[in-house]
Amino acid sequence: MVNADLLENTKSVFRRISHAAMRAGREPDSVRVVAVSKTVEAETVLQAVEIGLRDFGENRVQEAKEKIAYLSPLIPEARVIWHCIGHLQKNKAKTAVALFDIIHSVDSPELAGIVDRHARDAGKVQRILLQAKLSDEEAKHGMSEDALLSLLGSLRTLKHVRAEGLMTMPPYFEDPELTRPYFRHLRELRDLAEKKGFHLPELSMGMSHDFEVAIEEGATIVRIGTALFGERIKSGP
């Protein structure tokens, strides 16, 4: 893809975000765009940085590692924030902690514990989101509402992870309006957790085909690949 397409796509996504935010009575800059760069060439990511995008999402640790190694020396002062958005296997957690600023996909107490241990060893506090599964699709990762609420309690003893919010991936519907109940559910779950004394400002929800609905329901982070970079050639989960 040439730069001009990426620039046009980026403008269009930000315009649509502004309109969705305004419809919901929210400030447009209360929504952060994570540009999902999985399967996208590192050179294209570099163009995206030049356009002004700063947050990038990857779902495979090895691919992220190669891309970050390539890009880091090229973008020293434009500090890029790397988001791990895909299911994280426990044996990749150490590398993920080394690479990612924020991990959206913490989906079990075991993984939270492992991430905490690696973060301690690396001398960092790892920013995380807790992934909720609000549908009963077999293929999706994430915790049930009850599992998530009980993990929040035990996270208080882990000093090297900081849970900043919740993430979910609803089932795919042709009509994005049908995803609204899932986004609303995540917000309500967050509100319930806040009533119990947990501070969870971030809601990572909404992708290319449904981000406007997600913003209307309170998304603070939208994860957008196709609408910025075009259709992926290799299919990512």
Q: Using CB under 6 A as the criterion, which residues of the chain lie in contact with ligand PLP when the complex forms? A: 36, 38, 59, 85-86, 169, 207-208, 223-227, 236-237
Give me the least distance between CB of 196 and ligand PLP, in Å please.
Answer: 26
Choice between 39 and 160, CB closer to ligand PLP: 39
Residues 6+ apart with CB under 8 A from 207: 36, 169, 222, 223, 224, 225, 226
Give me the least distance between CB of 197 and ligand PLP, in Å please.
Answer: 28
Residue nearest to ligand PLP (CB): 225
Choice between 59 and 220, CB closer to ligand PLP: 59
212 half-sphere exposure, CB direction, 13 A CA radius: 15
Give me the least distance between CB of 121 and ligand PLP, in Å please.
Answer: 27
Choice between 85 and 155, CB closer to ligand PLP: 85
Tell me how many helices (H) and strands (E) the chain has. Answer: 9, 8
Give me the least distance between CB of 5 and ligand PLP, in Å please.
Answer: 15
The DSSP code sequence of 119-163 is: HHHHT--EEEEEEE--S--TT---B-HHHHHHHHHHHTT-SSEEE
